[in-house]
Amino acid sequence: MDAPRTVDLGFARLDVDRAARTGTPEVVYAAGKTPDQTVACLAALLEADGGGFAWATRVDAPTAAAARARWPGAVVDEEARCVLVGTPPDPVGTVLVLTAGTSDGPVAAEVAATLAACGVGCRRVDDVGVAGVHRVLAVAPDLAAADAVVVVAGMDGALPSVVAGLTDRLVVAVPTSVGYGAAFDGLAALLTMLTACAPGVLVVNIDNGFGAGVAAARIVRSVQR
């Protein structure tokens, strides 16, 4: 394997051939970076992409402002805490994104933003928790129309177990830190999803909408290949 290209910014070493290698362009994870560092990374990725597109996750308000100052056309998705600079690829396929409750919304928004950045279509249906299981049954047509499913749930995290029993699509489960007490900041939902009694459930880190989005995008791209 030829060594992939790296762009060295001193504080960061950008893996600019990642898209070619893994199908997913490198993203800037802004948590723990200063606004200047994030903007510099975005600029370098944008340049490496020939000016096309670059984006960042876990962006706080000062960083979003810094990005907008540099690229006035940048799209800031406040719910998802993402910034997108330039034009993402046209969307192909469809991923169904379900949430168990309204409070899971920001994580689902990160999934949706990630799908957009990866050029994959998204349909989102919120608040279909299992306490009213008829709401889950009602999404059957959406399941049949999707290439993959992402289920976002906090508290008991029970939704993926029910959904995976209703569909032959792969279910990517995202536990969220929604809840209190024995929810232990998402640990309860994480364990529930890892031990789901229905097979076909795959799990990402707590609140990791980005990871779920990338994975779902890879599934769609496999289908389209």
CB 159 to its own copies: min, Å: 9
Nearer to its own copies, 59 or 178 (CB): 178
Q: Do residues 153 and 126 touch, judged by C-beta distance below 8 A?
A: no
Nearer to its own copies, 9 or 69 (CB): 9
Q: Which residues pair with 174 in a beta bridge?
A: 152
Rounded to 10 deg, the angle between the 61-70 and 35-48 helix axes is 40
CB 115 to its own copies: min, Å: 13
Report which of 207, 175, 157 is spatially closest to residue 57, judged by C-alpha positions.
207
Q: Do residues 189 and 157 touch, judged by C-beta distance below 8 A?
A: yes
CB 74 to its own copies: min, Å: 21
CB 72 to its own copies: min, Å: 26
Nearer to its own copies, 64 or 204 (CB): 204
CB 31 to its own copies: min, Å: 7
Residue 35 token pair:
């606004």
Nearer to its own copies, 73 or 212 (CB): 212
Q: Which residues pair with 173 in a beta bridge?
A: 151, 203
Question: Cα separation of 187 and 105, whole Å?
Answer: 18
Q: How far is CA 153 from the centre of its chain?
A: 14
Q: Which residues pair with 95 in a beta bridge?
A: 122, 148
Nearer to its own copies, 63 or 208 (CB): 208
